[in-house]
């Protein structure tokens, strides 16, 4: 064969390999896939809309057990629980599909974040105003003293449909969806005081209350994926999540005796609030 013709043939035969080599990075991302991944997240949480409502009703007796009056008082406090941050493990499972002939991608993912954040305030005063009526009548003020109040977010699940735009080795995406979060609230050492002829701890010894709830909420997510190997990709995303308001109730019956007076009644109320969390998560994922 003519040396010149041989050279041309070799060059043409090498062209598909060169084209394949140039296109290889674009081929790292499968057009469609189901994926699972694990990683970690930085979380920053706030605890807005905290509201504690307390009321007390009591029967007032003399030391000779003569019923002299019935009393009632109520009021609210709005604890400031500050903010908290944490680093937590993250798991996710999802799928994506490419829209044929376009760079658009759609899909959904289900994720778990073991958030582990909490906010608290010590020595919360819940103002009370009320009156009493019977053989004696009048008005009085007082307060509940709550030694501490804390709210924590420990576990969070999210289901997020998303829409993305592919750039060859990955895609940018955004989405939103519902969340389910485990929120725990604790009222520690609650005692009610009334200012009558002097200050009385009407409700007796301090009591504590606790409630854990699975609470619905919503999240918005924006992220980017990058395929660094066939079927393997990194997912970096930011999310902002807000829970709905959860309300719990508390109640405690008391019978408090002093040398000259006795109080029998009910100390009760509600405590409520929300938890908002923003997270920056990085996971490594495998496409099946």
Using one digit for the tens of pLDDT, what is the confidence trace for 39-87?
999 999 999 999 999 999 999 999 888 999 999 999 999 999 999 999 9
In a domain, residue 7? The reply is no
In a domain, residue 86? The reply is yes
- Domain span at 259: 32-287
In a domain, residue 16? The reply is no
| Contact residues for 163 (Cβ-Cβ < 8 A; gap 6+) | 104, 105, 106, 173, 174, 175
How far is 277 from 47, CA to CA, in rounded Å?
A: 9
How far is 248 from 272, CA to CA, in rounded Å?
A: 6
pLDDT in tens, 90-135: 999 999 999 999 999 999 999 999 999 999 999 999 999 999 999 9
How far is 186 from 161, CA to CA, in rounded Å?
A: 34
In a domain, residue 254? The reply is yes
In a domain, residue 53? The reply is yes
In a domain, residue 27? The reply is no
How far is 54 from 127, CA to CA, in rounded Å?
A: 9
pLDDT the model gives residue 137: 92
Retrieve residue 245's tokens.
Answer: 């308001």
The pTM score is 0.84
pLDDT the model gives residue 16: 41
More reliable by pLDDT, 141 or 212: 212
pLDDT the model gives residue 197: 65
Using 50, 70 and 90 to split pLDDT, how confident is the model at 26? low
With contact defined as beta carbons under 8 Å apart, do 172 and 224 qualify?
yes
In a domain, residue 146? The reply is yes
Report the number of distinct structural domains present in the chain: 1
How far is 72 from 264, CA to CA, in rounded Å?
A: 12
Instruction: Mark 119-138 as b/e (b = at least 16 C-beta within 10 Å).
Output: bbbeebebebebebeeeeee
In a domain, residue 85? The reply is yes
Using 50, 70 and 90 to split pLDDT, how confident is the model at 4? very low
pLDDT the model gives residue 1: 44
Helix (H, G, I), strand (E, B) or coil at 9: helix
């Amino acid at each position: 064969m003519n040396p010149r013709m041989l050279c041309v043939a070799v060059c043409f035969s090498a062209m598909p390999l060169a084209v394949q080599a140039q296109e290889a990075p674009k081929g790292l991302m499968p057009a469609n896939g189901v994926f699972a991944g694990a990683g970690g997240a930085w979380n920053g949480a706030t605890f807005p809309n905290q509201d504690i409502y307390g009321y007390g009703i009591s029967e007032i007796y003399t030391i000779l057990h003569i019923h002299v009056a019935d009393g009632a008082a109520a009021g609210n406090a709005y604890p400031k629980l500050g903010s908290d941050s944490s680093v937590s493990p993250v798991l996710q499972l999802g799928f994506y599909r490419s829209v044929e002939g376009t760079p658009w991608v759609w899909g959904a993912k289900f994720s778990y974040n073991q958030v582990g954040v909490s906010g608290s305030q010590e020595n919360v005063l819940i103002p009370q105003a009320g009156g009493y009526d019977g053989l004696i009548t009048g008005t009085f003020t007082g307060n509940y003293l709550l030694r501490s109040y804390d709210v924590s977010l420990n576990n969070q699940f999210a289901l997020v449909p998303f829409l993305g735009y592919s750039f060859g080795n990955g895609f940018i995406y955004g989405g939103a969806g519902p969340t389910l979060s485990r929120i725990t609230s604790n009222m520690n050492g609650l005692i009610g005081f009334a200012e009558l002829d002097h200050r009385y701890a009407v409700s007796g010894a301090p009591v504590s209350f606790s409630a854990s709830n699975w609470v619905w909420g919503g999240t918005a997510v924006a992220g980017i994926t990058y395929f660094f190997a066939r079927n393997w990709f990194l997912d970096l995303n930011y999310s902002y999540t807000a829970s709905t308001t959860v309300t719990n109730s508390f109640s405690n019956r008391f019978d408090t005796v002093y040398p000259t007076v006795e109080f029998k009644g009910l100390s009760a109320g509600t405590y409520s609030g929300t938890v908002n969390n923003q997270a920056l998560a990085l996971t490594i994922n495998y496409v099946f």
